[in-house]
Amino acid sequence: MNDDQLYDLLQTIILPLSQERYLWRVGGSAALRVHGIDIDRVSVGDLDLTSEDEGIEFCLKHFEGARENSRAFPRHIRFELQGQEVKVLGTRPDIDYLERSVFVPWRGLYVPVLPLQDILTIYEKKVDKPDKAAFVRQELEWRHGSAIWLKDS
């Protein structure tokens, strides 16, 4: 999905979830886009969200066609919105860190995402996505001018 499609999708989702005050955040490639990593390097195929159970329940009721995968752990649901797939995953304490989310301004929206350093740790140590980890590492090195601060990642 391109940036305009991602913006429209986030705008539709952020307002209702934020009004309910559930802990949730954007993850996956969409989080990298919000952090400013170039869309030519990281494509966004769907929108991944992570939420506590109350946020999942809200999405099941609020978004038409939302269905839960009853055999999955952590809990997750899927639905289509504006022609795009949205996945809302339940929390896994070992990788989700909902309480560490930050609000990043992107195209006039304030989008909850993990800091890039936490995303790098997840990609390198938890979910084994070396290509995405490389993009995040390069971005962090570029932003900070050196790799010294990455020594613990």
Per-residue pLDDT reduced to its tens digit, 97-129: 888 899 999 999 999 999 988 888 888 877 777
Write the pLDDT tens digit of every residue in 2-45.
Answer: 999 999 999 999 888 888 878 899 998 899 999 988 767 778 88
Buried b (16+ CB within 10 A) or exposed e, 12-31: ebbeebeeeebbbbbbbbbb
Residues 20 and 78: their CA atoms lie apart, in Å, by 20
Q: What average pLDDT does this structure show over 139-150? A: 69
Residues 11 and 49: their CA atoms lie apart, in Å, by 14
| pTM of the predicted structure, to 2 decimals | 0.84
pLDDT category of residue 137 using cuts at 50, 70 and 90: confident
SS3 77: strand
Of the ranges 6-10, 67-71, 75-79, 145-149, the best mean pLDDT one: 6-10
| pLDDT score recorded for residue 138 | 84
pLDDT category of residue 153 using cuts at 50, 70 and 90: very low
